[in-house]
Homo-oligomer: A and B are copies of this chain.
């Protein structure tokens, strides 16, 4: 489960996302080595900024979202890797 209680406040329209774990087995049960796993494009919002003037942020902590392959900056908070991106880089809520 995504930890939604981290103590980080994103600025403006930024959102912190915990990427979903990449599948470690193929449908046929073969274990995939780490480098061959496709970078996931799905994750859980753990923190959202207050938005920009007149444009509040739409997503909220707990939402499962889809985002572009190269969206966001990787940051590490207390040993866990997150992505921080602008809300406009989020494509959809699943």
Contact = CB atoms under 8 A, between A and B. Distances in A.
A84 interface: yes
A17 to B, nearest CB: 12
Q: How large is the interface on A (under 10, 10 to 19, 20 to 34, 35 or more residues)?
A: 20 to 34
A84 B73 contact: no
A90 interface: yes
What 10 pairs between A and B have smallest CB-CB spacing? A10-B92, A9-B93, A8-B92, A84-B91, A8-B94, A68-B73, A11-B90, A66-B75, A9-B92, A11-B92
22 contacts: A7-B94, A8-B92, A9-B92, A9-B93, A11-B59, A11-B87, A11-B91, A11-B93, A14-B91, A14-B92, A16-B92, A47-B92, A49-B92, A53-B54, A53-B55, A66-B75, A68-B73, A73-B91, A75-B91, A75-B92, A84-B91, A84-B92
